[in-house]
Structure 1
Amino acid sequence: MKKKLTAVALGAVLTLTASAGVYAGANLQEIRASLNNGLGIVVNGSAYTPKDGNGKTLAPITYKGTTYLPVRSIGEALNTSVTYDAKNSRVVIGGGTSSGSTGGNTTTPATPSTGSSSVQRPTTIPSDFPLPSDAKVYDLVEGVAGGTGTPSATFKYTTKQDLLSLGNQYKEYFAKKGATSKSEEVSASAISIIDAGGSFAVTVDAKPGTGSNKGLNVVDIVWSGK
């Protein structure tokens, strides 16, 4: 039987892989699947290797005879926008949304902005949420989490600030906000934080950039709260 090829949200609900600690719930079902490293991909007649925002190669996943591709990477290859509608918990492919959408989410271009001297702050994060002065925000999706009405934001940014000091700054900030559940690993080469408190939940993942982001650090943020 010919295998069906299906594009789905891979990599933590688009950019949200690190957000499992924030959004895990009854709608998630654990499965056993296989990385299909032997499958080649051709887009418009040319060989294509899907990669994430940091330049890391992504492999298709095969599950029960169906092969799943990373939707954001494939969308970029086809010059088609892919966004995450947090309020309605769905992936939106192509411009605009269906009539059932409230239009409460906003997105930025899929690549970092350049030449800007000011930080583009997401509107749904607290005004004192730490962002370096040289931060270039991209892949921004804002809305509300689930049906709770809680403001949420997922985004990436690049910065030249060193990861050790940045990670410690985030640890201190989340502690002040009352984090009671913590998983924090901070070093000069990486940041991995999953914190939560009574009024917020957050994940921060960061590492040195590659490709066009070489020489910068790339930070992934998933925020839900006030």
Structure 2
Amino acid sequence: MTAKCIMIQGTGSSVGKSRLVTGFCRVFAQDGFKVAPFKAQNMALNSYITKDGLEMGRAQAVQAEACKIEPQAIMNPVLLKPRSDKNSQVVVKGKPIGSLSAMDYQDYKSKLKKIVKESYDELANSHDIVVIEGAGSPAEINLREDDIANMGVAELVDAPVVIAGDIDKGGVFASLTGTMLLLTDEERARVKGVIINKFRGDLRLLEPGLKMLEDIIKRPVLG
């Protein structure tokens, strides 16, 4: 079995990626599919401890619950637990391997790609669908090399991408347009559509902007 996949990325942190992935997981599970969540690299101080004593991101544990399956560390193979502005403990496949500075971690990321791919493949070989969550923003062009959070993962597993933006913060049209602008042609080709998250109010006021956005980024607003 080789799973189909979809990846939810965002214009930044806290735009709702985790909740959207959780929702997709539950919908696919309710539709009868064997589904699993996956987030290659997560950054969080608090972790979830699996039944076999391994650490993973708490969001992926919640997503596994939405899938109606037991959380596994391979659902979040790289967990960064910040210790300062420039230093984090690095947890790989549920086990701490030490602390690294931000610069040292950048150099170390190339070694983690194989682990990320192996973890994903293990899930993909035993599920129908894997719902992948990005981290931060794919438009962090200074971190593009050896990326294991966003488009680097999408390329590694050949995933279609949906980008979410948070209208509650303001500037959602600029955020989505700017994100698309900063992607490479190859990355942009992976984006199948965008989602405007956290909208409240009268949809009729938003609709003219949705059409203008679609004309600019050449991608549909999916919801």
Tell me whether the two structures share a fold, i.e. TM-score over 0.5.
no
Structure that is richer in helix per residue = 2
TM-score of the pair, normalised by structure 2: 0.29
Bigger proportion of residues as strand? 1
Identify the structure with bigger relative contact order (alpha carbons < 8 Å, sequence gap 6+).
2
With the length of structure 1 as denominator, give the TM-score of the two structures. 0.28
